[in-house]
Structure 1
């Protein structure tokens, strides 16, 4: 079950259910039925605007972001869906910190719910460094369905790891699949 590594912390019966759907060839149809279209945030500039909009809505007083971009070097295999970094630079006699968010390029073509979950996660790191109760409360404040989207994204990553095709392509919609639905 190495392809199920993304679901390692979940209860065994839930993982078994996902595994059964995968073995029956119904997992892709289930995901495609639940999330029908990909988001339209394709460029780094559009991603910056998307993140800035969420930040303005929920975290007005947080430090400003100097850069937001898709990153081809982030590999989901290394458990990095996105990163939040603070880069410190000396400017004259002052120490300046710049905040950056990078999102793995794989997520250029996923449903908006998945992108939003990743962005909310990285924005939450502006206030909470550790993945603790306060961190996840902030995530669910910004996106009430955060945990469901995270689970479904992890299921999608298992699908990809098992050799499954990407479900949302350049056309923006999932391929029609027999039995696709909730």
Structure 2
């Protein structure tokens, strides 16, 4: 099994550790030990509230979220797990902007830390459009363990690719 699509940018030592975890069939126990339960944010309405609560806590002076919803992964851009859409429209001589967050349905069965990581990632795009140093610093501000959870999310995706689920 190739895990390169999820760990391409990681050092070889981490890729080797991931392969050992998979071959020893310890991937699911590892994830269950760190994340023993799934979140209960299963509707678009509760996802919107969750995302808006995070935005109000960390990014008060950013534009309002107009929509947050779960979508089938095939509908998302380049198989991303989440997307942030920024649309400006001329409405009565005024420029109105809308911010939409779309999260892959596969995350309905994920631990809350992983869902939070993805929502934090998309919210960070409200201030930083590119994946640069300031972007990741903002992600870490909203979720201090952001980078570890991102790595664990990739392990979760490997588990899903194997046809297994965490819960």
What does residue 149 of structure 2 align with?
149
What does residue 103 of structure 2 align with?
103
The equivalences for 1:34-113 within 5 A come to 34-74=34-74, 78-113=78-113
RMSD of aligned residue pairs (Cα, Å): 1.6
Structure 1 residue 104: deviation in Å?
0.6
Structure 1 residue 77: deviation in Å?
9.5
Distance in 1 (alpha carbons) for counterparts of 2:51 and 2:127: 15
- The unaligned stretches of length 5 or more in structure 2 are none
Structure 1 residue 89: deviation in Å?
2.1
Residue 166 of structure 2 is aligned to residue 167 of structure 1: yes
8 Å Cα contact 2:68-2:101 kept in structure 1: yes
8 Å Cα contact 2:73-2:81 kept in structure 1: no
| Structure having the larger proportion of residues in helix | 2
Structure 1 residue 75: deviation in Å?
6.0
What number of residue pairs does the alignment pair up?
167
Structure 1 residue 73: deviation in Å?
4.5
8 Å Cα contact 2:81-2:103 kept in structure 1: yes
8 Å Cα contact 1:75-1:81 kept in structure 2: no
- The unaligned stretches of length 5 or more in structure 1 are 169-182
TM-score for both structures, normalised by structure 1: 0.86
Name whichever of 50-59 and 89-98 sits farther off. Answer: 89-98
Q: Greater RCO between the two (CA within 8 Å, min separation 6)?
A: 1
8 Å Cα contact 2:113-2:149 kept in structure 1: yes
TM-score for both structures, normalised by structure 2: 0.94
What does residue 121 of structure 2 align with?
121
Structure 1 residue 13: deviation in Å?
1.1
8 Å Cα contact 1:5-1:158 kept in structure 2: no
